[in-house]
């Protein structure tokens, strides 16, 4: 790829940073979007209030709770693709069927899923120090139980500085 075409590919690509709560989707996703000069979207901002209330009370979401939210996110991604602009979306996307819903109707190769990994101990310790609008850290076990590890995602362990993690993503993406 030439430098010019690499730059164009970067700007059009849609990245979905996925993983359990506290895996670093917002932190790493924000930085990745800055590095690529594309917008950052956080799926947390699109939950209906009922979902936020449920999680805040310590109850995991069900598939039925997630479908309308995933449909909203899919529309957002389609809008970006239609405009020819990429974006970075931070979204748990824990199950394969959720990822299929997110990518539904988008041209093949448009969406790259990036799984942020980390030990339960590391993530729990980060959650213990974090304040969040609605997420309850007691849900971490159910998040791990629901996670279906994708075969075809970029996988990075978020146990280094955010800058190093973004470097790793871009290298695996051949966009560095
Ligand atoms: N590489 C890192 N080094 C140090 N701290 C980190 C790193 N990545 C994330 N954190 C911290 O871990 C906590 C969780 O990160 P973040 O909020 O980005 O996760 P998330 O996956 O978006 O969580 P949620 O899905 O619950 O919104 C935050 O306090 C963040 O500052
Ligand atoms: O699918 C889910 O269960 C949700 O997306 C959760 O993962 C939360 O929204 C998020 O982790 C809190 O920020």
**What ranges make up the beta strands (E) of the chain?**
14-18, 40-42, 87-90, 111-117, 154-157
- Per DSSP, what are the bridge partners of residue 41? 89
Nearest residue CA, atom 14 of ligand 1?
22
CA 63, CA 77: separation in Å to the nearest integer?
20
Q: Are 114 and 169 in contact (CB under 8 A)?
A: yes
pLDDT at 152 over 80: yes
Q: Where are the alpha helices (DSSP H) in the chain?
A: 3-12, 25-36, 49-56, 63-82, 96-103, 120-129, 140-146, 162-172
CA distances from 10 to 15, 36, 38 (A): 10, 6, 9
DSSP state, residue 60: P
- ipTM exceeding the 0.85 mark: yes
- Ligand approaching nearest to the C-alpha of 22: 1
pLDDT score, position 4? 59
Which atom in ligand 1 lies closest to the alpha carbon of residue 44?
27
Tell me which of 143, 146, 147, 148 to substitute to probe ligand 2's pocket, judged by most ligand atoms within 8 Å of the beta carbon. 143
**Higher pLDDT pick, 85 / 40:** 40
pTM here? 0.94
pLDDT score, position 28? 98
For the chain, what is the mean pLDDT? 93
pLDDT score, position 9? 64
- Ligand approaching nearest to the C-alpha of 88: 1
**What are the tokens at 62?**
């069900």
């Amino acid at each position: 790829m030439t430098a010019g075409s690499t730059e164009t590919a970067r700007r059009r690509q849609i990245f979905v940073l996925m993983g359990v709560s506290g895996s670093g989707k917002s932190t790493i996703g924000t930085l990745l979007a800055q590095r690529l000069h594309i917008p950052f979207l956080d799926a947390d901002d699109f939950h209906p209030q009922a979902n936020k209330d449920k999680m805040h009370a310590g109850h995991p979401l069900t598939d039925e709770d997630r479908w309308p939210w995933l449909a909203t996110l899919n529309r957002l991604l389609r809008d970006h693709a239609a405009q020819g602009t990429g974006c970075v979306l931070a979204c748990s996307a824990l199950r394969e069927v959720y990822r299929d819903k997110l990518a539904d109707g988008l041209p093949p190769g448009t969406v790259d899923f990036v799984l942020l990994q980390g030990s339960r101990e590391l993530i729990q310790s980060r959650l213990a120090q974090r304040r969040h609008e609605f997420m309850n850290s007691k849900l971490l076990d159910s998040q791990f139980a629901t996670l279906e590890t994708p075969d075809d995602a970029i996988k990075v362990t978020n146990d280094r500085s955010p800058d190093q993690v973004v470097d790793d993503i871009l290298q695996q993406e051949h966009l560095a």
